[in-house]
Structure 1
Amino acid sequence: MNDLSVEMIDIELSVLIRRVTSANRKIGHLDRSAYLLLHRILSQGPAGVKTLAEESRLDISTISRQTAALEQKGYVIRIPDLVDKRAYSLQITDLGRKEFADHQKLRFSAIKEVLKEWPEEEQQLFGKLLRKYNLASFNKK
């Protein structure tokens, strides 16, 4: 890979991250970590803090803080582990589902607006390339 390609990707990723971060501040009540955690629990079911930390490659203390905030807002509840009484899993509440769905709807609308001029094939390719990049960067750590 040549340095011009790396430079272009570096700058474009930086701009993308800045714009997405800026746009997300204006959308709904969920921050990025809350959105990702709620999505994970909705799509794959209840999970403990250790599992969530491993899957996201973050410290348990970071995930603990993030999930505590979700719990405080009533978006998730703790479900005790029947075998290990000290352990628990987090399950999304009806309020968490509603907040996630409302937030996701706003996010989807914003993405659709930006990409409305793009042909469907380019939209699909963009999604596939983003996924490929995210998987490659995740597997390198």
Structure 2
Amino acid sequence: MPIPPSEITTDLLERLQHEVALFARRAEQTRLGGVGKARNSMDRAAYLLLHRLDNEGPMGVKALAEGMGIDSSTVTRQVAPLVDSGLVKRTSHPEDGRAVVLALSPRGRSRLEEVRSSRQRLMEVVTEDWTPEERESFTDLLGRFNSALAQYHSSVTQGDEQNS
């Protein structure tokens, strides 16, 4: 059951925002390599795009943007270097030849697996003294936090569009 806002202390909110800020900085450091090999680094945008294409299969720019909560021009800009490096391939939509479909290439899948393995190993090392239940609980809470942030940003964006 949620705690009424009047019972949430300013001190607790200060600690929470500070821990989130530290987490964001550490998460950015994590993208620089995972465990063991600097070659396993990948920027956050590339990782998230490749991960989504791997999980959901080929899709258009608009669907990819909507699913990630960003605009199509941002996806187009982020995908360009992935196409240039051969990690993502552009193909024509089977039903509408004018539409572009993005798909993870075999090279992209291989690269994603390298990075994923390295990052999974890092998570294993960092939480090695945690119980399975603590790992599960932290993962659930972090997922809930991310969902709440996404929902908040979505409602703010929709409110901005309605006020325009």
* TM-score computed with the length of structure 1 as normaliser: 0.94
Corresponding residue for 1:71?
A: 83
Corresponding residue for 1:14?
A: 21
Shift of 1:60: 1.2
Shift of 1:55: 1.2
Q: Percent sequence identity over matched residues?
A: 33
Point out 4+ residue stretches in structure 1 off by more than 3 angstroms: none
* TM-score computed with the length of structure 2 as normaliser: 0.82
**Equivalences for 1:51-90 in 2 at 5 Å?**
51-90=63-102
2:12 aligned with 1:5: yes
2:141 aligned with 1:134: no
Say if 2:31 and 2:41, in contact at 8 Å, map to a contact too. Answer: no
Q: Whole-Å Cα distance in 1 between the matches of residues 33 and 53 of structure 2?
A: 24
Corresponding residue for 1:49?
A: 61
Superposition RMSD in Å: 1.2
Larger radius of gyration: 2
Q: Whole-Å Cα distance in 2 between the matches of residues 3 and 45 of structure 1?
A: 44
Unaligned runs of 5+ in 2: 1-7, 35-39, 155-164
Q: Whole-Å Cα distance in 2 between the matches of residues 82 and 95 of structure 1?
A: 23
Unaligned runs of 5+ in 1: none
**Per-residue CA shift, 1:37-81, capped at 9, x if unaligned?**
111111111111111111111121111011111111101111211
